[in-house]
């Protein structure tokens, strides 16, 4: 019998934000697939480390390069490795930060495995943005408010997007975030913008407006901005 692939959301970084179902699934899988990338510190691994019990791991290297071909190549390599294990009858749990349905690299592997006829299941996780809201002790949307989740990398029409009625979450920030913050600042929204780096992880930082953020140094990949009307 062929094995099944599980995409397991492990939440934003705090091991206490793992669900019972994620822990059970990790314990039940034969092999755990751990994503890593050139600029990434295997954050998902540290979240689940205490539940791994010497289980076999497979390291999944993804590329952060701009070259789409190179990125695709590595994704197929990862999917091939995982599908070989599934073919051998092993169940594979692919751990991913946050929730697998929200901007996760896991979905590339999921879709390839589905296409090849393997069974797959998604285990939801706490998304980074609700963890950020919890940290800020505030809501994201109430009553009739609309909430827009916008990748900072969405360049072409970012100005238009930032003008939409409703609250906004700027995701997957990295370098593109600076451009978004510049626009928000020009619009006079500095004090309606809060920025959180590495929420729930070591080195967590909160910036209560754009000025505070600009004074800080070395802001990295796991950064989210929330703009409330």
Q: Which residues bind a copy of itself (CB under 8 A)?
A: 9, 11, 14-21, 23-24, 99-104, 107, 110, 114, 120-127, 130-131, 133-134, 137-151, 153-154, 157, 161, 164-166
Under DSSP, is residue 148 helix (H, G, I), strand (E, B) or coil? strand
Residues in Cβ contact with 16 at an 8 Å cutoff, skipping those fewer than 6 apart: none
Q: What's 192's DSSP letter?
A: G
Q: Please, are residues 73 and 80 in contact by the beta-carbon 8 Å criterion?
A: no
Task: For residues 145 and 150, give the distance between their C-alpha atoms in angstroms, rounded to a whole number.
Answer: 16
Identify the CA nearest to 7 among candidates 110, 111, 84: 110
> In angstroms, what is the C-alpha Rg of the chain?
19
Name the residue with tokens 């997007």.
Answer: 161
Helix (H) or strand (E) holding 167: strand 167-171
Structure tokens at 132: 């950020």
Structure tokens at 52: 């791994």
Task: For residues 199 and 68, give the distance between their C-alpha atoms in angstroms, rounded to a whole number.
Answer: 29
Length of the chain in terms of residues written: 229
- Residue whose CB is less far from a copy of itself, 160 or 217: 160
Task: For residues 216 and 227, give the distance between their C-alpha atoms in angstroms, rounded to a whole number.
Answer: 19
């Amino acid at each position: 019998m062929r094995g099944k692939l599980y995409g397991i959301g492990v939440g934003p970084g705090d091991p206490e934000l793992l669900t019972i179902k994620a822990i059970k699934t990790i314990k039940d899988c034969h092999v755990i697939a751990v994503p890593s990338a050139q600029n990434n510190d295997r954050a998902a691994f540290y979240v689940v480390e205490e539940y791994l019990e010497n289980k076999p791991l497979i390291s999944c290297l993804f590329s952060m390069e701009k070259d789409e071909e190179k990125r695709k190549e590595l994704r197929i390599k990862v999917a091939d490795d995982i599908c070989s294990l599934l073919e051998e009858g092993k169940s594979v749990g692919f751990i991913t930060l946050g929730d697998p349905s929200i901007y996760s690299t896991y979905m590339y592997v999921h879709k390839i495995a589905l296409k090849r006829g393997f069974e797959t299941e998604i285990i939801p996780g706490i998304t980074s943005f609700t963890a950020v809201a919890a940290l800020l002790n505030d809501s994201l949307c109430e009553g009739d408010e609309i909430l827009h989740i916008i990748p900072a990398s969405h360049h072409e029409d970012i100005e238009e997007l930032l003008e939409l009625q409703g609250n906004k979450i700027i995701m997957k920030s990295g370098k593109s975030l600076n451009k978004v913050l510049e626009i928000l600042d020009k619009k006079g929204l500095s004090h309606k913008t809060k920025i959180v780096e590495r929420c729930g992880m070591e080195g967590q930082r909160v910036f209560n407006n754009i000025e505070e953020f600009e004074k800080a140094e070395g802001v990295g990949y796991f950064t989210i901005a929330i703009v409330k009307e």
